[in-house]
Amino acid sequence: MQNFEFVSPTQFVFGRGVEEQVGQKLAAAGAKSCLLHFGGQSAVKSGLIDRIRASLDAAGIAYVELGGVRPNPEISLVRQGVRLCKERGLDWVLAVGGGSVIDSAKAIANGACIDEDVWTLFETKRVDHEVLPIAVVLTIPAAGSEASKNTVISNDELGRKTGYANNAHRPRLAFMNPELTYTLPEYQTAAGCTDMFAHLLERFFDNCEPVPVTDNLNLSLMKTVRTFAPVVLEEPENYEARANIMWAGMLCHQGLAGVGRVEDWATHGLEHELSALKPEITHGAGLAVLFPAWMEYVHELNPGRFAQYGYEVFGVAPSGDVLLDAQAAIDQTRMFFASLGMPTTLEELNVEEADIESMIPTLKANKGEPFGSFMRLTMDDARQIYRLAL
Amino acid sequence: MQNFEFVSPTQFVFGRGVEEQVGQKLAAAGAKSCLLHFGGQSAVKSGLIDRIRASLDAAGIAYVELGGVRPNPEISLVRQGVRLCKERGLDWVLAVGGGSVIDSAKAIANGACIDEDVWTLFETKRVDHEVLPIAVVLTIPAAGSEASKNTVISNDELGRKTGYANNAHRPRLAFMNPELTYTLPEYQTAAGCTDMFAHLLERFFDNCEPVPVTDNLNLSLMKTVRTFAPVVLEEPENYEARANIMWAGMLCHQGLAGVGRVEDWATHGLEHELSALKPEITHGAGLAVLFPAWMEYVHELNPGRFAQYGYEVFGVAPSGDVLLDAQAAIDQTRMFFASLGMPTTLEELNVEEADIESMIPTLKANKGEPFGSFMRLTMDDARQIYRLAL
């Protein structure tokens, strides 16, 4: 078990109707004003933004609105948010949406407290500055950004998509009402479940010894996602299923499922290049294609670890041959993602062999070489994994 | 799934040698001075207190020492701590020890910020005041007080032992070095493992519907404790086993293992009266006797829940008769505690039938009537459970 530090200070307010408490809880936490940050029109059309405006008004919290966050959020809107926070002296950032909106809010909350351009943080990774406190009304369970220390931002000008981690931008408040997820498009629900499952895989498969307290917790969350992902697709208004998925999505990326381990994150690195190349690719869909390919490529280094995962999460029956059991676990993983309607090949995402080489330079810039932990991957390994996924 | 709020702001510093960072981390968190609070002589003799003094000195943090916390910590020493904090203007409380020391520190941290006597908080349960920040160097994994919102304090004068919950006294910093637990007496290690397991049972068995995301996490922790409790007894200096137990002990009582559920806590209520009556009774030993008795008394209300627990934690083979399987799970629980060297009857704790009646009035005062959730218990039910445990 590796030495570790862990902190997750988010106050969770979970259940039916909790978005009505936004103003009151923000005021109790000392907020006077906020940037109200959101994405497209769905939160406006559904009336959610109106309810939040009313809640902020009732609590006497001033706000400035900035909508328009796109999937794979981009640095120019972040810069606009930073300017608004600085010019208006806003003291909180309130994100209403999913991972993209929250990631954008995190970047703004950092940028509002430094003199230089916010993108420099994604280059230097420094964490020695103040950050505006962040509150979240979650509408898409997937990225786990409502409690995580991570944000991922694209820079179109540079053709880069890069992560930045800072415990100081873990949200202070997260409002999680499973009912708000009833109307999510089916594809987005499925990609979200895939993303959360992938957050567990990245933590379970690394090159260190078992850490049973962490591994058991991780496997318990895999079982939960595996059980309820099909249910939320089949019955979008099943409150219990939506609630289990929403809470699991947070736990999958909060950090507890990996403490004491090294963690891997190679596959997320490979995927970020896909959606940097083609921003229309949903992160979860890219992961659904790449994770089984990565597993095929690396599993022989420690087939027992894959077999254990197969036994516990998919009920694979031990065959007596651990390599066969590992292969069965990989097959089950691919089938699980496919059963949710996720793609299984890069072809389905309109990525072809000729695209592979164009991703390698930025992959190397973002992840370094070698990267990953379960297997230390070179750029040539990366090429082969992309090819396996074609 | 019940609506809930959850917050656990503790920053964990986990691993070998982390107690050397106490001064530096406290200073980084803004501490100028602290009450250094501990128990008997073991922390002094082992040199731990000296190392912490050196770490505080090096960081320029002033401190006043208050040792002598006993098991089942008492309100008079708490009052002494409150006076010291007020008179010397101390701004943090640093607890070095197990649950008793941390519980005492929590009470002090509350009392130092109010005008009236600290015991009033245990009567009124009010939570509308400031609390001094608390740091913990954990030496006994058991109570989970290093991250929980609970403190339990005895008042010898009134013959009461009462809990008080406040999110504001969850420790800000917890230093957890598994090596510090190598020298714990065997009985204390065993009672600690029993206590953490009981914290999971209290959350798993209530009268609400399954909450799989929470229940799976809870069961995963039960498996971890069940696996490693025998190992730490057999091999007290096995770092990995001690580390798994230490981290599990925190998770068992932090709150995540019960979110979305009602929780029960009847058995803890029954046990508190035992150790109020006979302070020499270790909390975990009392729980080892009472939990199987409570299970025998209530399980027929929902035998399926007990059967599920038996299948997953003890590998009970389904017999086709859920009531038989529930009974098997209860038997396994009793055998598990006994295998750790815990008592199985009240007789072994020198409690006899004549003692039962004397516990009922304070039980009623502390818990109300009816109490518990899985089964709503009257005082007559309580008498019968105590009798089953004789």
Nearest CA of chain B to the CA of A348: how many Å?
A: 32
Q: Residue B275: which pLDDT band, with cuts at 50, 70 and 90?
A: confident
Contacts of B126 (CB under 8 A, 6+ apart): none
Is the bond leading into B230 cis (omega within 30 degrees of zero)?
A: no
Q: Residue B162: which pLDDT band, with cuts at 50, 70 and 90?
A: confident
Residue B42 confidence (pLDDT) above 90? no
> Rounded to whole angstroms, how far apart are CA atoms B146 and B172?
9
Q: Residue B94: which pLDDT band, with cuts at 50, 70 and 90?
A: very high
Residue A38 confidence (pLDDT) above 90? yes
> Rounded to whole angstroms, how far apart are CA atoms B266 and A304?
42
> Rounded to whole angstroms, how far apart are CA atoms B88 and A54?
47
Q: What proportion of chain A, given as a percentage, has pLDDT over 90?
A: 94
Measured from the Cβ of residue B183, the count of other Cβ atoms closer than 10 Å reads: 12
Residue B232 confidence (pLDDT) above 90? yes
Residue A41 confidence (pLDDT) above 90? no
**What is the ipTM for the molecules in this complex?**
0.96
Contact status of B7 with chain A (Cβ, < 8 Å): yes
Q: In chain B, whose CA is at the least distance from the CA of A173? A: B7
Q: How far is CA A186 from CA A80, A199, A239, B232, B277, in A?
A: 32, 20, 16, 48, 59
Nearest CA of chain B to the CA of A6: how many Å?
A: 5
- How many helices (H) does chain A have, and how many strands (E)? 15, 8
pLDDT at res. B371: 98
3-state secondary structure of B135: strand
Question: What mean pLDDT is reported for chain A?
Answer: 97
3-state secondary structure of B17: coil
Q: Residue B250: which pLDDT band, with cuts at 50, 70 and 90?
A: very high
Q: How far is CA B124 from CA A199, A341, B363, in A?
A: 44, 55, 17
Subunit contact B217:A221, Cβ cutoff 8 A: yes
Q: Residue B40: which pLDDT band, with cuts at 50, 70 and 90?
A: confident
Contacts of A182 (CB under 8 A, 6+ apart): A236, A237, A242
pLDDT at res. A25: 98
pLDDT in tens, B297-321: 999 999 999 999 999 999 999 999 9
Contact status of A270 with chain B (Cβ, < 8 Å): no
> Rounded to whole angstroms, how far apart are CA atoms B45 and B300?
50
Residue A162 confidence (pLDDT) above 90? no
**CA-based R_g, chain B, Å:** 20
pLDDT in tens, A46-102: 999 999 999 999 999 999 999 999 988 999 999 999 999 999 999 999 999 999 999
Of the listed ranges A99-113, A158-172, A324-338, B253-267, the one predicted with least confidence: A158-172
pLDDT at res. B336: 98
Q: What proportion of chain B, given as a percentage, has pLDDT over 90?
A: 94
> Rounded to whole angstroms, how far apart are CA atoms A380 and A385?
9
pLDDT at res. B258: 98
Q: In chain A, whose CA is at the least distance from the CA of B25? A: A5
pLDDT at res. A256: 98
pLDDT at res. B113: 98
Contacts of B274 (CB under 8 A, 6+ apart): B281, B286, B290, B346, B349, B351, B359
Subunit contact A217:B221, Cβ cutoff 8 A: yes
* CB–CB contacts below 8 A, A to B: 115
Count CA within 13 A, CB hemisphere, residue B202.
24
> Rounded to whole angstroms, how far apart are CA atoms B307 and B336?
16
Indicate the residue of B211, B214, B247 with minimum beta-carbon distance to A213.
B247
Q: In chain A, whose CA is at the least distance from the CA of B2? A: A15
Count CA within 13 A, CB hemisphere, residue A340.
33
pLDDT at res. A284: 95
Q: DSSP code of B7?
A: E
Q: In chain A, whose CA is at the least distance from the CA of B244? A: A213
Which pair of tokens denotes residue A375? Answer: 């297997």
On chain A, the residues whose CB falls within 8 A of the CB of B8 are 8-9
> Rounded to whole angstroms, how far apart are CA atoms A170 and B25?
19
Q: What proportion of chain A, given as a percentage, has pLDDT over 70?
A: 100
pLDDT in tens, A291-333: 999 999 999 999 999 999 999 999 999 999 999 999 999 999 9
Give which of A16, A130, A209, A216 to mutate to test B binding, by max B Cβ within 10 Å.
Answer: A216
